[in-house]
Amino acid sequence: MAKSQDLVTGPQQLRLDLQIATEREIDGVLMGVLSDGTPYLNIRGLARMCGVDHTSILDITARWQANPLRPREARIKELVRAQSGDDNIVFIATNLNGTIHHAVPSAVCMAILEYYAFEAKGISNAKAAESFRTLARKGFQAFIYAQVGYNPTGASDIAWKQFHDRVSLSFHTVPDGYFSVFKELADITVTLIRSGANLGSSFIPDISVGQHWGKHWTSNNLDAVYSDRIKYDHNYPDYFPQALSNPQPAYCYPDEALAEFRDWIKKEYVANKMPSYLLGKVKQGQIPAPAAAVALDAFNPKKLPPSKIRPQRF
């Protein structure tokens, strides 16, 4: 995407709370989706679809807030407003690995394409007209989502595969009369995937839950209340880092303690422990901050202040 030296990025345009969820170059056009679901083209991609040099689009963005506006920018802003778009923002800037990336949102892309397709003088309008008609016919968001393979529900095939692979390896390994933390967390995992958390293979909440539940178990002497917990062999799929030391010895607990575990997981772990766990993963760079925020929203626990779950500055 365009580098930071190409454009002047104001503080109102820089969004540290957004990341690039997915991005792909199709026929020389770089397009993608931000972590909040916003589809976009980058500066050069939009220029290519308009059939003009990218410096023409850079010039438009540089003069977007000029006073007075030139006729070209004034007309394009009118076209943005005609779509009920925000004509104050010409691009959304995000920080990726220390570089400012500029994402041009749909209303601005369509307005610039419409201008070059039907109103610009002294240039060939054919490419812009073709691009405008394609996007108008299919819808900008639907077109970008389809091109980059973005699933707006966030329930990616990879996330489901990781979950299913873990379930298939552990389904029959827990002895009768006992429950495992991993199997009991299935509802939480499914809710997170469906809500779009997309936390990836670094998100293994049963390890964190198991540690905290184990402390609760021992500090309350629950062996004496329910009978002893025992260990069983837990295996990870071969593409997980933990698979190198398969099988993992993990505790399972008597079924009689299941009601207490479920009450504890809701009132104690989800409400008080999960936010800290997710924040730690964000700080370690293992989980994207927007995904962590979605995970928190999925269960509406006691939330961290928004500033604490934003991406760290590079």
Q: How far is CA 19 from its chain centroid?
A: 7
Residue 119, pLDDT score: 93
Has residue 154 got a pLDDT over 90? no
Residue 214, pLDDT score: 95
Q: Is the pLDDT higher at 24 or at 300?
A: 24
Residue 304, pLDDT score: 38
Residue 39, pLDDT score: 92
How many angstroms separate the CA atoms of 194 and 192, rounded?
A: 5
Candidate ranges 156-160, 162-166, 201-205; pick with highest mean pLDDT: 162-166
Taking the CA atoms of residue 62, residue 68, residue 74 and residue 78 in that order, the dihedral angle to the nearest 10 degrees is: 110
Residue 122, pLDDT score: 87
Question: Would you tell me the crossing angle of helices 186-195 and 157-170 to the nearest 10 degrees?
Answer: 170
**Residue percentage of the chain with pLDDT more than 90:** 41
pLDDT tens readout for residues 88-143? 999 999 877 677 889 999 999 999 999 999 999 988 899 999 999 999 888 998 88
pLDDT band at 40 (very low <50, low <70, confident <90, very high): very high
Residue 196, pLDDT score: 59
* 94 neighbors 15 (Cβ within 8 angstroms): yes
Sorted by sequence, the CB contacts under 8 Å of residue 123 that are 6+ apart come out as: 51, 52, 116
How many angstroms separate the CA atoms of 213 and 276, rounded?
A: 15
Query: How are the residues of the chain apportioned to helix, strand and coil, as percentages rounded to the nearest 5?
Result: 50, 15, 35
b/e burial code for range 91-113 (CB count within 10 A of at least 16 → b): bbbbbeeeebbbbbbbbbbbbbb
In this structure, how many other beta carbons lie within 10 angstroms of the beta carbon of residue 215? 10
Mean pLDDT of 156-182: 82
How many angstroms separate the CA atoms of 186 and 199, rounded?
A: 15
pLDDT tens readout for residues 188-242? 777 766 665 555 566 677 888 999 999 999 999 999 999 999 999 998 888 777 8
pLDDT tens readout for residues 267-280? 888 888 888 887 87
pLDDT tens readout for residues 284-306? 766 666 666 767 776 654 443 44
pTM for the full predicted model: 0.51
Q: For residue 230, what are the β-bridge partners? A: 252
Residue 51, pLDDT score: 95
How many angstroms separate the CA atoms of 133 and 117, rounded?
A: 9
Q: For residue 254, what are the β-bridge partners? A: 178
